[in-house]
Amino acid sequence: MPDPIPYYPVNEFGPLMKGLVIGGVGILHVFLAQFAIGGGALLYYFERVAQRGDADARRFVDGYFKVLVLVSFVVGALTGVAMWFTTIQVGARTIGLMIDEFHWLWATEWVWFSVEICAGYAFYRVGPRLDGRARLRLLGLYAFASWMSLFWINGILAWQLTPGAWLDGGGVWAGFFNPSFWPSLLFRTAVAATLAALVACVVINTMTFADPQHQRERRAALIRRAARFAVPIVAMPLLAAWFLAVIPSDSRGWVMGGSLPMTMFVGVAAGASMLIGAYVILGILLKRLTINIATATMLLLLAFGATAAGEFVREGARKPFTVRGVLYSTSIRPEEVAALRAHGAVANDPYPLRDEHRYPTAQLVRGAKVHRALCDACHTMHGSNALTELVRTWSDDQLRLNIAKLQRTKGFMPPFAGNAEDVESLAQLLRWELAGAPTTWPPPAVSRDERPPIPLDQISKWLDEAGTEPAKEAP
C-alpha cells in the first residue's frame, strides 16, 4: 500500500496561472542573483586594477556600481524568500520533495549564501576604512561565496529536469551532479559575467571627470576593461548546445520546433545574446567603439529579455513534470494515477472550493475541484492558457475524448488522474463556463429526453485506451 497522497491548500491568482506566477518571481530573482554574482567578480577585478594605481578604476569601485551590487543582492535575497512563499502556495509537494532529497546540500547552499551576504555587507560598510589586502580578500570572498551558492542551487534545479542516475537509485550525489549540472552551471556563470559587464557599461557612462576633454577616452578605457567580462558570451552557443544534448528528447523536440512558443522564446534568447555578443566583442573590444548610456541600457534590457525567455523555456521544457519522471506538475506521482482513476480525482481532497456558491449543481462543483486538482497548474479558466478558449469550438464528445486521453491530446500534459465521472464533470464545467456561467444548469440526469445519456462507458473506454503512463508514441 503506497503512502496516501498528501493534500495541501493551494492558492489561485486570478487570470495568472500558477506556473506564470512562479515563473515571474523566478525570472526577477535569477536576473538579480546572477548580476550579484558577476558584479562581485567584476568589483574584485577593478579593485585590483585600482590598487595598481588606476585612479579611474578606484572611482568606479567606490561609486554607484557597489551600491547596485548591494541592492541586487538584497533584492535578490528578498525575491528568493518570495520564491519560497510562492512555491509553497502552488507546488508544496514539489518543494517538499526537493527539501527531503537535498536537505543538507540545500543547507550548504544557504551557508554560502550567508557568507556572501556578510562579506558583501562588510565590504559596503567598512570597505573604505580597510587596507588594500583586506579589501581584496573581502571582495574575493564575496565573489567566491556568491558563485558557490549558484553551484549548490544549480545542482538542485538541474535535477528537476534531468534526474539522471538518481532515478535508478544512484543516490543524492548522482542527483546533484546530474546530466545538465555542468552545462547549466557554466552557462549561468557566463550569463552572470555578461550581466555584470553590461551594468558596468551603464554605470561608467554616468561617471563624470574633472577634465571634460578627456572624459570620453577615460570612460572608454574603463568600459573596455568591463567589457572583457562579457567575453564568455562566445561560449554560450556551445554551452546551450551541450544543454540541449543532455535534456530528455521530448523536451528537446518542443524546444526545437514542437512547441512554437518555446521555439520562439529560444530564438529570442539566442538572437538577443548574439546581438549583445556582437556589439561587445566586435564593437567595443575589437573596433574600440564607444558606447553611450542609451546603448548600454538597451543591451542590458536585451539581456533581461534573453534571461526571461531562457528561464521560461527551461521551466516549460520540464512539462508535464516538476521533477522529471517522479512528480507531475499537478503534484501527483505517476504511480498514483491508477488509484485516482479508480477512486476519483477529488474523493480525498479535503479542501472546499473558495467560490462554491457560484456553481448551481453538485456536478459543476465537482468539475471545479477536478479542474483545481488536475488542470490549474498550467491553465486558468478564462485568463492565461485559458481552457475556455482552447475548447471553444469543440463538440461534447471531442471534449470528453481529449480530456480522457489528455496525455495523447498533447504530450506535455499528464495522463488524466480521475475517473469517467470526473471527465464528465469537467466537460460540463467547461460547457457551463462557455455558456456564461448561468444560474441553472441541467443536472446530470441520464434520463432527460433533450440530452443524450451521458456516455460514461465510452469515457471509461477512452480512459483505458489512454492508459495511466505519461505520453509516449501512440501504439
CA-nearest of 311, 310, 326 to 414 is: 326
Chain mean position to CA 122: 31
Q: Judged by CB under 6 A, does residue 323 bind ligand HEC?
A: no
* Given 332, 406, 459, 463, the residue binding ligand HEC (CB under 6 A): 406
Which residue has cell 539581456?
Answer: 303
Q: Provide, rounded to whole angstroms, the least separation between the CB of residue 168 and ligand HEC.
A: 24
- For the chain, what is the total number of helices (H) and then of strands (E)? 19, 2
Taking the least distance from each CB to ligand HEC, the nearer of 193 and 427 is 427
Contacts of 180 (CB under 8 A, 6+ apart): 158, 161, 162, 243, 246, 247
Q: Provide, rounded to whole angstroms, the least separation between the CB of residue 385 and ligand HEC.
A: 6
Sole window of 185-193, 205-213, 250-258, 406-414 interacting with ligand HEC (rule: CB under 6 A): 406-414
Sole window of 53-61, 168-176, 275-283, 386-394 interacting with ligand HEC (rule: CB under 6 A): 386-394
CA-nearest of 26, 43, 73 to 196 is: 43
Q: Judged by CB under 6 A, does residue 375 bind ligand HEC?
A: yes
Q: Cα separation of 381 and 342, whole Å? A: 26
Residues of span 282-321 touching ligand HEC by CB under 6 A: 319-320
Q: Judged by CB under 6 A, does residue 463 bind ligand HEC?
A: no
Q: Provide, rounded to whole angstroms, the least separation between the CB of residue 148 and ligand HEC.
A: 33
Taking the least distance from each CB to ligand HEC, the nearer of 154 and 428 is 428
Q: What are phi and psi of 322, to 5 degrees?
A: -95, -30
Cell of 397: 464528445
* Given 379, 400, 405, 431, the residue binding ligand HEC (CB under 6 A): 379
CA-nearest of 337, 354, 466, 332 to 411 is: 466
* Given 159, 412, 432, 462, the residue binding ligand HEC (CB under 6 A): 412
Other Cβ atoms closer than 10 A to 7: 15
Chain mean position to CA 223: 32
Q: CA end-to-end span of the chain, whole Å?
A: 30
Q: Judged by CB under 6 A, does residue 402 bind ligand HEC?
A: yes
* Given 236, 374, 401, 459, the residue binding ligand HEC (CB under 6 A): 374
* Given 72, 86, 205, 330, the residue binding ligand HEC (CB under 6 A): 330
* Given 329, 363, 419, 425, the residue binding ligand HEC (CB under 6 A): 329
* Interface contacts to ligand HEC, rule CB under 6 A: 319-320, 329-330, 374-375, 377-379, 385, 387, 390-391, 402-403, 406, 409-410, 412-414, 416, 426
